[in-house]
Amino acid sequence: MSTQLTCSLDHAHYRLEELVVAHHARHSLTHGIAARIGEGISTEDHRSTYDIADLYGEGFDPRLTAGDLAVHHNEGLPPPDIRAEQQRIERADALVLVYPVYWWSMPALLKGWIDRVFSNGWAFEFRPDAPLIKKLGHLPIHLLGVGGADPGTYSRHGYAAAMRTHIDHGIFNYCGAKVITSELMLESETAKLLESHLYEGSQTLGESMHYGVSVTDSCLGWGDTEALLTRAATALARAKPLMKVG
Ligand SMILES: Cc1cc2nc3c(=O)[nH]c(=O)nc-3n(C[C@H](O)[C@H](O)[C@H](O)COP(=O)(O)O)c2cc1C
């Protein structure tokens, strides 16, 4: 996977996008991707802008507190740090989450952010004696997970589907928020030499995306990659005797 990324979301209607990044290292691929998404937002439409919420850099505490639990039970108001996070989302026209996949889900830092910020009374209203009210129907969501495993592993074990059930449906649909983009950028640790996807070319992140096409640099299709790998293997096999020492 290349680090020269030009990512953009279909943000034509958004004035301000809140980019939430959940990674401890500023120089990580995850932060790099978030930065490129930000660049895409501001260069494609000068009226659009973005704010990056670097959860680790800002020292967000993902541990649920007694005060948070009181909010959940309709017995208290959100603490100031949580209210600040909610206000940040209230100012935005769309929410973008960029995170590495840890154990086939989001990192604990981001899960804790959801646990605490998407609270009862703000993201939804739940009372045992009343129907659930979904309160985030106005908030478009874009999800981008960066994973080390390959697409075959994700589909063979149903991990991609499980993540969609858990995150897209279980969290955002519960609050009424529409998930516009839900993408996994895979093989983040291995696919560094030959950039190849199922289909040639590239696409920008948005509503109508095509399976198997790169969302970063323009890439070779699988057919060309396979032919190149075969040629490289043949060349290497011929070269081997020359490399023998002693
Ligand atoms: C604790 C931990 C758990 C991980 N679990 C998964 C996993 O379940 N699936 C996967 O595809 N990659 C997994 N990975 C690999 C990360 O997704 C990968 O390191 C990351 O995408 C690389 O991006 P970065 O350079 O921004 O960290 C895991 C990595 C760590 C550190």
Structure pTM? 0.78
- 16-192 sits in which CATH class? alpha beta
Q: What lines the ligand 1 site, CB under 6 Å?
A: 23, 28-30, 100-104, 146-149, 188-189
Q: Which atom of ligand 1 is nearest to the CA of 154?
A: 11
pLDDT along the chain (246 residues), means of 10: 40 79 93 91 84 97 98 96 97 96 98 98 96 97 96 97 98 98 90 58 75 70 66 53 37
Q: Which CA distances in Å does 191 have to 82, 87, 197, 218, 242? A: 38, 39, 10, 14, 28
26, 33, 54, 102: residue to mutate for ligand 1 pocket, most atoms within 8 A of CB:
102
Q: What is the pLDDT of residue 8?
A: 47
Q: What is the pLDDT of residue 232?
A: 55
Expressed in angstroms and rounded, the spacing between residue 148 Cα and the centre of ligand 1 is 5
Residue in this structure with the two tokens 């290497």, named with its chain if needed: 236
Expressed in angstroms and rounded, the spacing between residue 204 Cα and the centre of ligand 1 is 23
Q: What is the pLDDT of residue 221?
A: 72
Expressed in angstroms and rounded, the spacing between residue 207 Cα and the centre of ligand 1 is 26
Contacts of residue 103, Cβ cutoff 8 Å, sequence gap at least 6: none
186: three-class secondary structure by DSSP: coil
Report the alpha-carbon distance of residue 69 to residue 66 in Å, rounded.
5
Expressed in angstroms and rounded, the spacing between residue 146 Cα and the centre of ligand 1 is 7
Report the alpha-carbon distance of residue 168 to residue 8 in Å, rounded.
20
Q: What is the pLDDT of residue 146?
A: 95
Q: Provide the Cα torsion 205, 160, 82, 142; round to 10°.
A: 10
- Whether residue 215 contacts residue 142, with contact meaning beta carbons closer than 8 Å, is answered with no
DSSP assignment of 116-135, as one string?
Answer: HHS-BTTTEEEETTEEEEE-
Expressed in angstroms and rounded, the spacing between residue 145 Cα and the centre of ligand 1 is 10
Q: What is the pLDDT of residue 6?
A: 36
Report the alpha-carbon distance of residue 130 to residue 135 in Å, rounded.
15
Contacts of residue 55, Cβ cutoff 8 Å, sequence gap at least 6: 20, 21, 22, 62, 109, 110, 113
Report the alpha-carbon distance of residue 112 to residue 73 in Å, rounded.
18
